[in-house]
Amino acid sequence: MDLVDERLRLMHVHAHPDDESSKGAASTAKYVAEGVDVHVATCTGGERGSILNPGFEHPGIVENPELITEIRREEMDRAREILGVTQDWLGFVDSGWPDGDPKPPLPEGCFALVPIEEAAAPLVRLIRSFRPHVMTTYDENGGYPHPDHIKCHEISVYAFEAAADPERYPELGEPWQVKKLYYHFGFSRARTEAIDAAMKKHGLESPYAERLARSFDPEREKRVTTRVECADYFDIRDAALIAHATQIDPNGFWFAVPREIEKEAWPTEDYELVKSFVDSPLPEDDLFAGLR
């Protein structure tokens, strides 16, 4: 493969604005610093997100809750700049978190209800124009089971295949084979335990007691193939997260562990390699292993 004159390209597919800053953002910043061209595809506008930061204030938001869409676009503008990425909106409408037992039906026209062929089309087009060497998305459970995260997984896997197939979506550009597909692996038990232990070692209260009391699937842990060292970029990740001011409380859970402790206990972001067209022995420490 001749990549000598070509910049490496990485595409992250995310469900909502803020997901690009809470999942894999430090590895994004690292790759950007190395000269990789990183593009984020954001499936929905986050229209049904609630304001999760008690300190968030914005004139008019109480009277006009629909302002959230515009505000989240501005937040994404800032995060994009901080991370140094380019980004496209795929143009779907947030499905919202179905709260209640039984869960209420999903709102008409939302992303999760769009048929897969239609939902994957803008991503196929984007893959064929950006031509990423590596793509990331969520696992089959969405990382966490928000309907938009599960749909994001579905369209990513579907578009990964379809973009390479000249028979499918011929009107959406020249076929492109992405060489590697990864799933994000955020809160593994191993990571949670390591940070929990480091907090206690430093005489601090761990925020993970409740999380560790829950059951973890031991099989899921074994799926990590790739750990990208990126502790030097945690600061950039944090700044990008804070840019999503409606969603992120700077005094909340995301920031409950001092960065020095996180760096010491778990200096990587972790991924599962699920499809590959290159030779790269596992485990890996680089999403571009086999491509450089």
Stretch that binds Zn ion, among 13-21, 232-240, 248-256, 258-266 (CB under 5 A): 13-21
| Cβ proximity to Zn ion, 14 vs 125, nearer residue | 14
Stretch that binds Zn ion, among 19-27, 87-95, 99-107, 241-249 (CB under 5 A): 19-27
DSSP string, 113-135: GS-HHHHHHHHHHHHHHH--SEE
Instruction: Give the phi and the psi of residue 195 in degrees, each rounded to 5.
Output: -70, -40
| Cβ proximity to Zn ion, 17 vs 122, nearer residue | 17
**184: helix, coil or strand?**
strand
Nearest residue to Zn ion, scored by beta-carbon proximity = 16
**Which residues participate in the annotated binding site?**
16, 19, 149
Three-state SS across 32-49? Answer: HHCCCEEEEEEEECCCCC
CB of 154 to Zn ion, least distance (A): 15
93 exposure class (CB count in 10 Å sphere: 0-12, 13-18, 19+): buried
| Cβ proximity to Zn ion, 95 vs 225, nearer residue | 95
| Cβ proximity to Zn ion, 19 vs 270, nearer residue | 19
CB of 182 to Zn ion, least distance (A): 18
**Which residues participate in the annotated binding site for Zn(2+)?**
16, 19, 149
Please identify which residue in 16, 30, 39, 180 interacts with Zn ion, judged by CB under 5 A.
16
| Cβ proximity to Zn ion, 15 vs 178, nearer residue | 15
How many helices (H) and strands (E) the chain has is answered by 10, 7
User: One symbol per residue from 61 to 80: x for binding Zn ion (CB under 5 A), - otherwise; what is it?
Assistant: --------------------
CB of 84 to Zn ion, least distance (A): 21
| Cβ proximity to Zn ion, 9 vs 146, nearer residue | 146
Among the listed residues 209, 226, 221, the one whose alpha carbon sits nearest the alpha carbon of residue 272: 226
**Residue position matching structure tokens 């750990």:** 227
Going by DSSP bridges, is the β-strand pair 180-185/134-137 parallel, antiparallel, or unpaired?
parallel
Determine the Cα–Cα distance for residues 238 and 217; give it in Å rounded to an integer.
Answer: 28
Please identify which residue in 8, 11, 19, 83 interacts with Zn ion, judged by CB under 5 A.
19
CA-based radius of gyration for the chain: 19
Classify residue 94 as left (phi > 0), alpha (psi -120 to 50) or beta: beta
CB of 19 to Zn ion, least distance (A): 4
Please identify which residue in 10, 13, 15, 93 interacts with Zn ion, judged by CB under 5 A.
15
Determine the Cα–Cα distance for residues 217 and 221; give it in Å rounded to an integer.
Answer: 7
CB of 183 to Zn ion, least distance (A): 15
CB of 146 to Zn ion, least distance (A): 6
Determine the Cα–Cα distance for residues 119 and 156; give it in Å rounded to an integer.
Answer: 10
Residue 244 touches Zn ion, criterion: CB under 5 A: no
Which positions touch Zn ion (CB under 5 A)? 15-16, 19
